[in-house]
Amino acid sequence: MAIPRFSSLLRCRKWAKSDWLVASIGCVLIVFFLSFFFDPTSDSVPSVDRSRPIISPSDLVKLKLSSVAKERGAFCLDGSLPGYHFHEGSGSGSQSWLGGGWCNTVASCSARALTKLGSSNYFEQEVAFQGVLSSDPSQNPEFFNWNKVAIRYCDGASFSGSPEAEFKNGTRLFFRGQLIWEAIIDELLSMGMSDAKQAILTGCSAGGLASLIHCDYFRDHLPKDTAVKCVSDGGYFLNVPDVLGNPTMRSFYHDVVNLQGVEKSLDQKCVAKTEPSKCMFPQEFLKNIRTPVFLVNPAYDFWQIQHVLVPTSADPDKSWAKCRLNIKECDAEQIKVLHGFRSSMMTAIGEFHQNKDGGMFIDSCYAHCQTVMSVTWHSLTSPRIENKTIAESVGDWYFNRKPKLLQQGSSRFLKFSIRDQTWSKSDWLLASIGIVLIVFSFSLSFNSTSDSIPSVDRSDLVKLKLSSKAKERGAFCLDGSLPGYHFHKGSGSGSNSWLLYLEGGGGCRTIESCSARAMTRLGSSNFFEHEVPFFGVLSSDPSQNPDFFNWNRVMIRYCDGACFSGHPEAEFKNETRLFFRGQLIWEAIMDELLSMGMSHAKRAMLTGCSSGGLSTLIHCDYFRDHLPKAATVKCVSDGGYILNVLDVLGNPTMGSFFHDVVTLQSVDKSLDQNCVAKMEPSKCMFPQESLKNIRTPVFLVNTAYDYWQIQNGLVPDSPDLDERWKICRLNIQECDAAQMKVLHGFRSSLIDAIGEFHVNKEGGMFINSCNSHCQIRESWHSATSTRIENKTIAESVGDWYFNRKPVKLIDCPYPCNASC
């Protein structure tokens, strides 16, 4: 599970130690927003609150890389420097932490090192501060003016890994989570946090657990007279067997602890008495925490129900398929099991309930994280117990105020111990809130994990615009929110030229995976960044984008899960509340852009990366047909030439995936109808079948050793049961001779597949031998960009588009290209 990107970001000036002293009270609020990479095909979550506002630029906070990390040996998984976001307080201070899950194997950590959860190379330059981090007193009445720091998470073990594990496991990864934690805490102390008078460490999900693990360390490094407390949100994970009696969560913790040497960071009193991985469960070590703790947890925590109590592995007959995703679909026996889970939680926190310094807010919502979004933290629609929001309850506890509504019973036990009642099945209908802050990763998503992303200047950021025509056209994202795009107006010679970039981001093949996706930016505009950087083919810098820098440039956001090609008929066929409207999104935004001047275009190009590159091929002729006949219109597909080949065990992995996507969302209506008339529709999603029917000139940018296709099509996790490919599939340099022979065979299949296209006189191609995926943004045109015959991708596409010369470039086999 992974957390959603909380949209965009706020500016803050550089702060000195004196800045902390200006505040009348120096306070610390540290928040971990962590999620799990536990089940990469994890199922969905409840519907999102659609009233949630788009993030304002005033909520955005800039990234700062740690200045002391290098000297301390504190590195992210890939060896890059860790960082944080700081928002200066006024009148009182705070700091907050931001994170994103765990990895429990070398393979999963290696994959993670190519993402923002394992490398600062992929960090957003700004992030949004909401909920407990908000600066709006109406949303965050107690802590709005505290200093706040969100420390980014990039180690994969809750800031708890130890470097000794690197040598033990013989990996090139950096397991330095504990060093990251210590380095950044020291940096903040040197910047003035050592003068704090009030401080809170908090976090969500795995971050809530991390808050408990590091709570006493946090306390011990602040002044003795500082009021220091910790708040764990959704971090009380239960050590209970799943419905088949298997120790699913326990096994996962065991692997994390062993891989990264986490036992050194755990409570040593606990470790001395029991197996170290047990000491990651709060029910084992909470009793040993000296610092006051407040627990925010739903008794029917949907993440724990879906991954601890009823993981997919424990539901082979899918009898829980509907219930585990939607509590309203549970039958009486299933509700009984869920009530049993609640009872287990009540029993587990029984001893903590007696702690006079502790507090709790245990509601009965079918939710998970609740402190990090304003809509659940403190708003008119926030969950309440005895008419108090979570924000009010935490505030009462932190500031030692006596709640007016909790007078019955012993005040020692009930003073800040707020627990909701058990629900009957009908009561679940009242659970309208329960915003879920988890991003699930998909085993078959086309997300790009680029090799290097350039740093972004404010002038490169382009604002989001929600479509004004979408609602009237019935064009909605998976969750029913409005689709959107980012538009940068052209100038000079490019004022009548248009470049449309279709965002990539995977596909979903089942109701469960689409429901999960609907809670992320890939299925809901509620989670879109307010601004995104335009670089590569979208850049307005002529040195980076010589041919298209002054064109009108548009990035169309992807939120339908089927390459902008789903049809609403599928919603009724599948009896789902999801919106399968990809084709309508494409048409609505096209109409909007045409009305904005694109109808007068003299030059136009449609492009996209990964699944966006595939979408480019699907919609290329539609794009051509809706522009003036005299316009020069061409299409460039980057990383979208997905091969219809068998995996190493002879299974049609990609074919099965495309079949499920097409069937679920009725994508066949958007595919080339000449192809559909001849064969099974899902085959027509593969470019080797559809490309021959495209009338508009096309340019293919693809790597012959596309790492995404190798990892997900040729050698997906499932065929590699003996883990022979574990290292090779993640790092081509680690492949042996037999494995390289297979990869060269994959290259040969690609070259054969594009053979007919190669003779197309209007077509172009740049097929290099790098082990990469998307390239037209990250590797478009720079001193370090990949080259064939000394030409960058930008130069090659430019030569082809403007008819300067034919471009049919196919690289020699790996590893011949030194520019990769």
pLDDT band at residue 167 under the 50/70/90 scheme: low
Q: Which of 773, 779, 781, 811 is catalytic?
A: 773
Rounded mean pLDDT, 14-28 = 35
pLDDT at 102: 66
Max Cα distance, the chain (Å): 85
The predicted-structure confidence for 393-413, as pLDDT tens digits, reads as follows 999 999 998 643 332 222 222
pLDDT higher than 80, residue 56:
no
Q: Extract the tokens encoding 25.
A: 């009270």
Per the CB < 8 A criterion, the answer to whether 86 and 67 are in contact is: no
Rounded mean pLDDT, 680-686 = 96
Least confident stretch, 39-48, 79-88, 387-396, 480-489? 39-48
pLDDT higher than 90, residue 195:
no
pLDDT at 49: 34
What is the length of the chain? 820
pLDDT at 750: 97
DSSP code, position 247: -
Can you state the percent helix, strand and coil of the chain, rounding each to 5?
A: 35, 15, 50
- Catalytic status, residue 773: yes
* C-alpha–C-alpha distance, residues 583 and 738, integer Å: 43
Least confident stretch, 69-73, 93-97, 758-762? 93-97
b/e per residue 413-451 (b: at least 16 CB within 10 A) = eebbbbbbeebeeeebeebebbbbbbbbbbbbbbbbbbb
pLDDT band at residue 640 under the 50/70/90 scheme: very high
Tell me the percentage of the chain whose pLDDT exceeds 70.
83
Rounded mean pLDDT, 336-356 = 93
Q: Which of 706, 772, 785, 811 is catalytic?
A: 706
Residue 723, by phi and psi: left (phi above 0), alpha (psi -120 to 50) or beta?
Answer: left
Per the CB < 8 A criterion, the answer to whether 479 and 508 are in contact is: no
Kindly calculate the radius of gyration of the chain based on its CA atoms and give it in whole angstroms: 26
pLDDT at 621: 98
- Catalytic status, residue 378: no
Q: Which of 265, 540, 610, 779 is catalytic?
A: 610
| Beta strands 552-556 and 497-502, pairing class | parallel
Rounded mean pLDDT, 117-143 = 86
pLDDT at 497: 98
pLDDT at 58: 57
pLDDT higher than 90, residue 612:
yes
The predicted-structure confidence for 716-772, as pLDDT tens digits, reads as follows 877 766 778 888 888 898 899 999 999 999 999 999 999 999 989 999 999 999 999
Per the CB < 8 A criterion, the answer to whether 406 and 274 are in contact is: no
* C-alpha–C-alpha distance, residues 536 and 420, integer Å: 52
Least confident stretch, 51-60, 184-193, 381-390, 525-534? 51-60
- Catalytic status, residue 610: yes
pLDDT higher than 80, residue 308:
yes
Least confident stretch, 145-159, 381-395, 522-536? 145-159
pLDDT at 411: 24
pLDDT band at residue 9 under the 50/70/90 scheme: very low
CA-based nearest residue to 636, from 805, 800, 449: 800
Residue 407, number of CB atoms within 10 A of its CB: 10
* C-alpha–C-alpha distance, residues 810 and 352, integer Å: 65
pLDDT at 721: 66
Kindly write down the DSSP assignment for every residue of 348-417, as one continuous string.
Answer: HTHHHHT-TT-EEEEE--S-S--SSSHHHHSSTTS--BTTB-HHHHHHHHHTTPPPTT--SS-HHHHSSE
Q: Which residues pair with 439 in a beta bridge?
A: 2
Rounded mean pLDDT, 652-676 = 95
Q: Extract the tokens encoding 512.
A: 């469960």
Rounded mean pLDDT, 363-383 = 87
pLDDT band at residue 57 under the 50/70/90 scheme: low
pLDDT at 574: 65
* C-alpha–C-alpha distance, residues 44 and 48, integer Å: 11
Mean pLDDT of the chain: 83
Q: Which residues pair with 201 in a beta bridge?
A: 30, 230
Q: Extract the tokens encoding 362.
A: 């245990």
pLDDT at 221: 94
Q: What is the dihedral of CA 522, 523, 527, 532, to 10 degrees?
A: 40
